[in-house]
Structures are given as structure tokens and as C-alpha cells.
Amino acid sequence: MRSRTPRPGWLAGLAVVAATALTATSAAAAPTAPAPTAAPAALAAAPDIPLANVKAHLTQFQSIATANGGNRAHGRPGYLASVNYVKGQLDAVGFTTTVQSFSYNGATGYNLIADWPGGDPNAVLMTGAHLDSVSAGPGINDNGSGSAAILEVALAVARSGFAPAKHLRFAWWGAEELGLRGSRHYVNSLPTAERARIKQYLNFDMVGSPNAGYFVYDGDNSDGVGSGPGPAGSAQIEQTIQAYFTSIGVPTRGTDFDGRSDYGPFISVGIPAGGTFTGAEGIKSSAQASLWGGTAGQAFDPCYHRSCDTTANINDTALDRNADAITYTVWTLGGTGTPPGSTVWSDTFETATGWTANPSGTDTATLGQWERGDPAATSSSGVTTQLGSTVSGSYDLVTGAAAGSGAGAYDLDGGVSSIRSPAITLPATGTLTLSFSWYLAHLNNATSADYLRVRVVGTSTVTALTVTGAASNRAASWQSAAADVSALSGQTVRILVEAADAGTASLVEAAVDDMAVTQS
């Protein structure tokens, strides 16, 4: 994490020295650390990150610094060796890696970008940490801790076979300590369309401070501190991270987007951001010590930007908890992809699933309103107006299920009736199709003002079916409909079914059955 006042540009004129990457201890071979406090079943999809694996990466960063003048700073050989180490780990498990170079203070810096194959390329979840240290020391907490944690999370993606709905991208930034130079270069060099594809950015800078606090970037300004909330969508990140810490009984506090780390360039262009932080040179208060333990009156990291920021300068408990919080956040926000050709959602109406009649309170129909029911057959003048049979099972959605003393006893009368589905979360990828069966029946006293309409409503609306009446007899007969609703991908939507006897008084009946959303 950079200082509030960046250090002078002493690196001017220094050339990059190519370094031979140290032989890495395989993370997979590292012994497994004891499991942390178990999270609830709802969080079980995200794997546990072995602390020993994360610490093995920190050992490598320490060895790299020791072999290269005691640091891993911008323009120094220890930084390039760190990039080579992380890149080698990612290349070995199938990530597509790109090394992006930039210049600052007369030296070449590097960002390492790693993309996991799959997921929606138009919905990128990006996770980053700065990889450089200051010149004064090896930078194991600042920010080997964040770099090692997100590296192990990326490796866990590969080990687990996680197939998220969003496209996952990880980044290790250069020259953060000199003013966010690497992340700023990356964001500023992105075309506008590419920026728009990054839906959320997660930043982890110092997650193992020895006198640790548990801070979460205040995405919605709920703590009322500092410069205010992040871009829309930042609150979701904050709430997701908080949910993990709540599950393990660890209280968190908000920390402001104060511009000291690599979220800065992202929020400046409107990309939602968030992350965790265990504290830097700030002093832990008595209240914070009571909340989290540790020593009041002492810095969260007494070795901040000093030569003593070594592998001995790590709080294992904080590092372990934060690594697992990162994993949970990536798994949760990344979403679970639905296998192509599978059913995303379906309803045969054989059980009550939470459909709501007259959801907006604006219906005008006085009789025969929509309901889930076991329909009775009705007919008039030899015309079947309501089917007593459904497409499957015994129930459907129907206007006035009862027969009554005649065909007109429970038909739709007086205006519009509507019924709305429970919330449906659509996957972010693939072609999405809503399919269902339907009929609209009426006698020759109907008009074109009478109708059956099915719409899917999210941030926009897709009309799946509109059928209007006419001055003719139309017998009830099940028909099939299908509509592409891919325009609503990744949204939480509801299906709205409406019918109207909106012209002159007429005999109108409608029904729908066997609704499903599928992905291909």
C-alpha cells in the first residue's frame, strides 16, 4: 500500500535487470493447514484455502527479495523475478497470462494479467493486488500477502473446476508504491468498450497485518466516513465480504476509499470496487483491540514500509481468514454457470410457488381473475371456452377456474387481470428461451381490445406473447410459445401474465401452463 506522500523518484535511469526465477516450491505440495472455523452450508461452494499454500508463496517472495538486494521494488530485479514466479504458477494450471509493460521514473514496470477460460466475456469479475514492495524491504505483508492470497485463490479456481457465469480475471500490479502507476496504466489504456466489460473489481492490499484489524471498503458509505460511497455495485461487494466474516463470527468495520490503493483508477472510471484491508501505519485503538484482539496504541503493521516486513511480519489467522473471504467473494460474485441445454427455471403449477395476483394493485377485472387452480371445463353454444384438462398434471394458471352455472359465470369480466411469478435469476451466458403453453378463448362478442399477454420484466421488458381477441368464436385449445429472453441475461426477472376483457362485455377465458426458461 502506497504512502500518503509517495517517495521521491529515486529509480530514474535504473534499467531492469533480468532475473532468473527461483525454483518454486509447488503450492500443491505444501502441507495442509488446519481448517478454519466452518462456514454455514450456504457458503460451502467456495473451497477452503490452505494457509500453508499461501505462506509458501510468501516464502518465495522473501527468497526472491533476499536474492535481489532485499526488495521487490519497481525497476529492481526482485520485482521482475516476482512476476516470473506468479506467471509460472498460473501458466502451469491453464490461465492465459499477459505481461503488460509501462514506464515510470525511467524504469520499466510490469503488470501481470491472468484470465481464466470461460464465463461471459461481457461480464468480467476482476481481482487484483499490487506485487511491488518499497525499496526499504521485501514487502511481505505490503503486499506479498494480498498477492499470495489472490494467487492461491486463482489456483483454487483451476483445482476445483469452478465454471463461473462471469469471466474471471486476476491482476498483479506494478509500481503501486509510487502512485498506483501500474493499475492506472492498465485502466487508462483500456478502450471504453473493454472498461464496460469489467463489472466489478476486488482489491486486496495488506491482508496479514501482525496487529490486524478487519476492514472492508465501505461501498455504500453506510459508515458515513470519508469521501462517500463507491460506484453503484460497490455495496454488493461490501455486503458479500461482510457475509463471509459474519459466518465465522468476525466483526468488520468500514474503511474509506481514500485513494491509497489500486481500486483508485477503477472507481475513477465508474467501475464498482471493494476488498479487505488489515491495517497499515494507523494506530489500533482500545475499542479496536477489544473488538479484534491485538495491542492498543500500536500500529496495525509496525513494519509498514520497513526492512522488517518479512515472513515474520504476518498474522497467520488474519491471512487465513482473508484468503477464505476472497475465495467466497469470487465464488459468490462470479456466479455459477448453468450447463448449456439445461433448465434454468420451470413451473408446472402442480404446487404453489409464489405467484402473486394483481401484483401492482392496479387490476380492474371484477370477476374471473387469474389464479392457480384445477380448472373445470366450460362451453357455450358448442364452443369450448375453458379446458378441464391441463398440459400436465391437474393445475394451471387460469382465469376463473370454476365452472359455475354457465360459461359466463366465472369468465374474465370488467377489465384487466394480472399475475406475476416469483423472482427468477437468469444466467449471464448462453441463449435463454422462455417456453410455455397457452390458450385464449372467446365468443363472437369479443373485440380486439381483449387480449392475453406474457412479458418478462427485468431492467427492461421482453414481450413473449401478445394475442388479441376478435368478433368471432375461438375455442380453447392448448398452443405452444417460445421467446428469446437473452436480452435479460444476468438479471433477476419476473414473468407477468395478463388477460383483459377490455371492450364490450364479452365471454373471455385464458390459461397458461408448463412454463420454463432454458439455456443453450
CATH number, residue 352? 2.60.120.200
For the segment 369-390, the average pLDDT, to the nearest whole number, is 94
Alpha carbon distance 237, 91 (integer Å): 28
- Does residue 380 share a domain with residue 330? no
- Does residue 381 share a domain with residue 319? no
Q: What mean pLDDT is reported for the chain? A: 88
Least confident of 13-17, 270-274, 278-282: 13-17
- Does residue 328 share a domain with residue 351? no
pLDDT score at 443: 93
Whole-structure pTM value: 0.62
The SS3 of residue 27 is: helix
pLDDT score at 337: 61
Alpha carbon distance 432, 273 (integer Å): 29
496 vs 406, higher pLDDT: 496
- Does residue 329 share a domain with residue 197? yes
Please determine, for residue 287, whether its predicted confidence score (pLDDT) is greater than 60: yes
pLDDT score at 151: 98
Please determine, for residue 82, whether its predicted confidence score (pLDDT) is greater than 80: yes
**Is 177 annotated in the active site?**
no
- Exposure class string for 479-493: b at 16+ Cβ within 10 A, else e: eeeebebbebbbbeb
Least confident of 335-344, 375-384, 503-512: 335-344
Confidence of residue 340 (pLDDT cuts 50, 70, 90): low
Length of the chain, please?
520
- Does residue 243 share a domain with residue 112? yes
In a domain? residue 21: no
Give the residue numbers spanning the domain of 172: 48-334
CATH number, residue 118? 3.40.630.10
Burial class (CB within 10 angstroms; exposed 0-12, middle 13-18, buried 19+) of 26: exposed
pLDDT score at 6: 34
213 vs 11, higher pLDDT: 213
**Last residue of one domain, picked from the residues 334, 363, 385:** 334
Q: What is the per-residue pLDDT across 99-145, written as a single tens digit (0 to 9) for each?
A: 999 999 999 999 999 999 988 899 999 999 999 999 999 999 999 99
In a domain? residue 409: yes
In a domain? residue 9: no
Confidence of residue 8 (pLDDT cuts 50, 70, 90): very low
**Catalytic pick from 176, 177, 238, 371?**
176
* % pLDDT > 70, the chain: 88
pLDDT score at 221: 56
In a domain? residue 5: no
Q: How far is the CA of 131 from the CAs of 143, 174, 206, 304, 306, in angstroms?
A: 6, 6, 11, 15, 16
Q: How far is the CA of 145 from the CAs of 205, 260, 496, in angstroms?
A: 7, 17, 49
- Does residue 131 share a domain with residue 271? yes
For the segment 345-357, the average pLDDT, to the nearest whole number, is 95
- Does residue 494 share a domain with residue 387? yes
pLDDT score at 259: 85
For the segment 165-182, the average pLDDT, to the nearest whole number, is 97
Confidence of residue 42 (pLDDT cuts 50, 70, 90): very low
**Last residue of one domain, picked from the residues 316, 334, 352:** 334
Please determine, for residue 170, whether its predicted confidence score (pLDDT) is greater than 60: yes
pLDDT score at 17: 28
- Does residue 180 share a domain with residue 96? yes
Least confident of 54-68, 213-227, 393-407, 434-448: 213-227
Alpha carbon distance 498, 452 (integer Å): 6
Grid cell listed for 368: 374471473
Confidence of residue 222 (pLDDT cuts 50, 70, 90): low
Contacts of 259 (CB under 8 A, 6+ apart): none
Please determine, for residue 464, whether its predicted confidence score (pLDDT) is greater than 50: yes
pLDDT score at 237: 93
Please determine, for residue 40, whether its predicted confidence score (pLDDT) is greater than 70: no
For the segment 59-65, the average pLDDT, to the nearest whole number, is 98
4 vs 354, higher pLDDT: 354
In a domain? residue 53: yes
Alpha carbon distance 273, 259 (integer Å): 12
Total structural domains within the chain = 2
- Does residue 323 share a domain with residue 456? no
pLDDT score at 446: 92
pLDDT score at 503: 75
In a domain? residue 442: yes
**Last residue of one domain, picked from the residues 312, 334, 356:** 334
- Does residue 276 share a domain with residue 409? no
Alpha carbon distance 174, 130 (integer Å): 6
Alpha helices in 306-442 (DSSP H): 316-334
In a domain? residue 204: yes
Q: How far is the CA of 248 from the CAs of 136, 255, 293, 320, 512, in angstroms?
A: 36, 20, 16, 12, 46
